Structure formats: structure tokens, C-alpha cells
Chain A
């Protein structure tokens, strides 16, 4: 069974930057694990330590109980799609893949399979220098898949992909993670790092959330989202009567931005109440917490150190003059599900 385990993983860059701070986590096979966090949370550094490209200052991250550098043929164990991974611009896509195939002792036929899989067969003999960002990402994916690894690590794979490309990648990762479940019982580990939460929510089963190099949360996404607060908001010309009715029914109610918002209530509670009181409804929406709001609650609405809301305030002050006072509370966006009345 493939395993990835980090214990007290720490990385300092210089004496001031603590990129990863005593991070411990375990990745679970049989699904897609989201490696989430704001920019600068230490996602990329952690993944690069996992892949032996960056040396930890202390602690360890082990693949199948070994350090990556001690794996006899890592291409067959771990596939990695990294940002800023390089291509020689003058080398063709096919030759780029053949280099890795040679080192890993894989037949060149496998290169053709992977080119075909990512849809680059037509561009196989073109120089990578002329490739678009999306094609380079596909080529990276093809290289990662050469050794049919049980562990796939992707760092911000959606970057540079167009919407079709993202959808393709999403389907592919689901397929790859599930394919193993039927083929062998042990399952595969697929780790996808992302700061695009709405995108990640569509792919991941498990999440590992990082903030400032520390673990903020780990678990199944569904479990983490369950038990979090939900709310219903209603747009109505009879706001005052609805507020009265809700308070009479012991439900929390506030008026906000032209909506009546009831935190913790469900549409099933509000519907009958409004029918009973003959309140005209123009719009009713229930919002369950999304990964994004969960994320903001876990990270305290903060980005990485030095990337908090302050620069935005400074920027606006600069643009709008010294009289402007920035709103201190960042707005936590939430995804809404429309309900027709």
C-alpha cells in the first residue's frame, strides 16, 4: 500500500523565513487528496521536500517508509507534476519523455502511450519551446505517468490550463484515483495542491489544509464540511413581518444587505413559516458552507504572513486618498444554492 507520511517536517530558508513549521500529516490512498492553503503557506516547499528536491531543515517526509532519495527507481513509484519544472526549448516532447524513460529503464513504447494519453501525439516531434502553457502541463503529466506510479503529486496543475483543460484534468485525476480501486485493492495516492478552492472542491475527497507552514486541518472533505453552519437568506418586500415571524419561532434573524438572513436555519424551517404568514418571497437561497468558507474559518481569513489584507488597504488608500478607511473585516465568500419559491 502506498504511503506518504510527514513527521515534524520543517524548512527554513535563511534565518528569517520559516516556510514549513513542524508539519505532520499522512496521505490516504484511494482518493484525491487536496493540499490546500493560501499562497506562501508552504505547499510547494512541502511537495518539493517530499520529492527530494528540497532538503528539510528537520523532520522527514517518507514515501513508503523511505526518503525519496532512497527509492531505487522513483519514477515507478512517484509521478510529479511541478510548476516551473523545466524543458529544454530545443528538445522535442518525445525526446523529453525518452530521457526519463531511459533513466527509469522503461521501454520507449511507454512514452508513446503517455503521449497518446495526454493528447500530445500530434505534437510529439515539435520542440517544447513552441508549446503553450497548457501543452507543457500535459507534457509534465505525461512524464509523471511514465512509470505507472501509485503516487501522483501535482502542484497547482490547473495553472495555465483553459477551462476545458481543467475539466479534462479533473476527470483524469478522478479516473486515475479510481482505476486503482478496481485494478488492485490497495489504491493510489493522488495529491493535488491548489489555492483555487472552488476548483479543488470538485476534485478532492480528502483535504490537508496548510497555513503559514502549519497543518490547519486534515480529514475527509465531507466530514469537515458536515456540522459546519448553514444559513438561509430571503429577499422579500415584507422584511419586517418575516423578521417578526422568525423571532417568534425562535429562529435567529437579521437583515443584511436587503436580505433577511437566518443563520443556522434550513429552508424547510422557513418555507412553512412564510406560507403561514402569507409573506411574499422573491428569492430564497440556502448556503451550506463551502470549502472556501471552511478554509477561511480555518485560516482565520488570513493569507500568508505579510500577505494579509493590509496591502489592499494601503493600495486603496493610495488610490482614493487619505480619507479612506479600509474595512478591517475580510468578507468570507460562500457558495449559494438557489431555491425557487
Chain B
């Protein structure tokens, strides 16, 4: 099993598509984060100007987009298994380990690890983003209208030091509230992606079905029947985030975090088991 896991890890880092997925995650996080961080107005009654104390809405706003990384984790998971079929590397894989269930189990393990890593990368990007925002925001007291809002240069400068520490503290609070959930969520979503890949086998189909279900079907169901929605993968992942329950977004009813984790894990494992017993048993010709 250790041998299989090592081979699966090597499979990931010896092809460029893995790095592309990781790169896209960081780029998207930064792009969305900046867009929300600097957006005039927003879901929390405006993000322009300095919020003097307490939890800072624009951090929660910015951090709230980071959990979208789980969509990329889903894609990565699907790639891990469907890529073998697409490039027919499944032949040497099953020649070396003909017990296909073991191959799937090792892929689930490595996929979970890669998903967690994706989550960590996301949250590190978020942290960097936060620092940049604080620097810019605090200085914007002078640059971006703090002065024109009637504050004197001196008063503004005097309060800058205070803002630094208040902002850092607020950011750290928001970040630590959301980080564990995002990281665990991306890990479990990679397992979910592997399950979809095992069941559907076709790369394009698996990715399209996964994304459309999560982004469209699930959103609609959650909007109409929130009670059903809370048991769906996306909402289950949101439930992992402590912050989701307290600070931002109207998420509707959510399971407890461990319930969300179990639910999400159940989706991934069930799909993987069904896929292993059906699709993956088919002949490799």
C-alpha cells in the first residue's frame, strides 16, 4: 500500500496539469480577493473606508471567496482518476497492481492529501492578501479619501498605528475562523472528485457534471429546499467553516461541522465504491 501511495504521489508531481490546478487556485484567490477587498460597497454595506475596530467585514468578505478552492480540488480529484483513462496509463497501472480497489484507495488517500495542500495554499494566499489589504487600506487614510472625509492629516496619521494592530488582530481572527474549514473542505472535495471520476471515467464528463452540480443544481436545490440543501456536498463543505455560521453570508441551515465532514466523506467514498464495483471493473481494451 505504501508503494502504491508513493507511486500515486509521483504521478501527481511528474505532470504539469497538477501545477496548473494549484496555480489557478492561487491566481483566482488573489484576483477575487483583491476585487472584493477593494470593491466600493458590497454585501456588508460597503467596504470602502477604514473600519476602526472589531471584526473587519472586508476580511470576511475576502476570505469568504477562498472556499471556492474546493471546486479546483474537485477538478484535481477527477483528473487523478480520469487522467489514467484519458492517457491510457490505466493499462500499466493495472498491470502493476491488478487489484483495482487498492489503486482507488491509494488514489483517495493521495487525493485527500493533495486537496488539503490545495487548501493550505489557498489560506496562505489569503493571509498574504490580507497583509496587502491592511497596508493599502491603512495608508488609504491618506491616499484614498480619509482626509477628504474630514479627518485631518495629523489625526489620520496618529490613528494609523492603532489601525495596524487592530486590523492585524481582526484579520487573524477571521482567518483562523475560516482556515480549518476551507482546508478540510478542499481535502474532502478532492475525495468527492475522485469518486465522481471513478464512477464516470470520462474526464470531461466528470468535471462538467461535478462543477455543474455544485454550482448550479445544488444552488437551486438549496435555494428552494434548504433542508435538503444542507445535506448536499457544497453546503456540507460550507458547514465545516466556523465562520460560516457566525459572520458572513446567509447560508441557510447548516449541519454541525463534523456532520458536514462525515456527509462529504460519505459522498466521496460512496461514489468511489460504486465506481470501483461498476465502471472500473470494465475491461481495459
Contacts and interface: CB of A to CB of B under 8 A. Distances in A.
Interface of A: 44-45, 48, 51-55, 68-69, 71, 74-75, 80, 82, 84-92, 95-96, 98-100, 102-105, 143
A55 B281 contact: yes
A89 B15 CA distance: 9
Interface residues of B, number: 29
Contact of B95 (A53, A95, A96): A53
29 contacts: A48-B283, A52-B95, A53-B95, A53-B283, A53-B285, A69-B98, A74-B95, A74-B96, A75-B96, A84-B91, A85-B88, A86-B88, A86-B89, A86-B90, A86-B91, A87-B87, A87-B89, A88-B14, A88-B87, A90-B16, A91-B15, A99-B14, A99-B93, A99-B96, A100-B95, A100-B96, A102-B7, A103-B93, A104-B96
A124 B87 CA distance: 19
Interface in B106-129: none
B165 interface: no
Given A44-B285, A74-B98, A90-B17, 11 more contacts: A48-B283, A52-B94, A52-B95, A53-B95, A53-B284, A75-B95, A88-B14, A90-B14, A102-B7, A103-B4, A103-B7
Interface in B52-88: 83-84, 87-88
A171 B11 CA distance: 34
Contact of A95 (B10, B88, B90): B10
A105 B3 contact: yes
B10 A51 contact: no
Which of A48, A75, A91 neighbours the largest number of chain B CB atoms within 10 Å of its CB? Answer: A91
Given A52-B98, A69-B99, A99 B7 contact: yes
Nearest to B106: A103
B91 A85 contact: yes
Nearest to B90: A86
A69 B284 CA distance: 14
B285 A99 contact: no
A72 to B, nearest CB: 10
A92 B13 CA distance: 12
Contacts of B283: 48, 53-55
Contacts of A102: 3, 6-7, 10
Interface in B5-51: 6-7, 10-11, 14-17
A68 B98 contact: yes
A158 to B, nearest CB: 19
B150 interface: no
Contact of A89 (B6, B87, B99, B285): B87
Interface in B221-257: none
Contacts of A52: 94-95, 98
A86 B92 contact: yes
Contacts of A143: 92
A104 B7 CA distance: 10
The CB with the most chain A CB atoms within 10 A, among B3, B91, B94, B97, is that of: B91
Contacts of B90: 86
By CB atoms of chain A within 10 A, which of B4, B88, B93, B95 has the most?
B95
Contacts of B14: 88, 90-92, 95, 99
A54 B7 CA distance: 23
Given A88-B15, A98-B10, A103 B96 contact: yes
B265 to A, nearest CB: 26
A103 B3 contact: yes
Contacts of B284: 48, 53-54
A45 B285 CA distance: 8
A45 B283 CA distance: 10
Contacts of B10: 95, 98-99, 102
Nearest to A79: B95
Given A52-B94, A53-B95, A99 B11 contact: yes
B98 A85 contact: no
Given A48-B285, A52-B98, A80-B95, A88 B3 contact: no
B285 A54 contact: yes
Contacts of B88: 84-87
A75 B14 CA distance: 22
B211 to A, nearest CB: 23
A90 B93 CA distance: 17
A91 B17 CA distance: 11
Nearest to A74: B98
A44 B15 CA distance: 30
Nearest to B13: A95
Most buried by B among A52, A68, A103: A103
B146 to A, nearest CB: 51
Given A48-B283, A54-B284, A103-B7, A88 B95 contact: no
Nearest to A54: B283
A54 B92 CA distance: 14
A112 B99 CA distance: 27
Nearest to A91: B14
Contacts of B16: 90
Contacts of B93: 99, 103
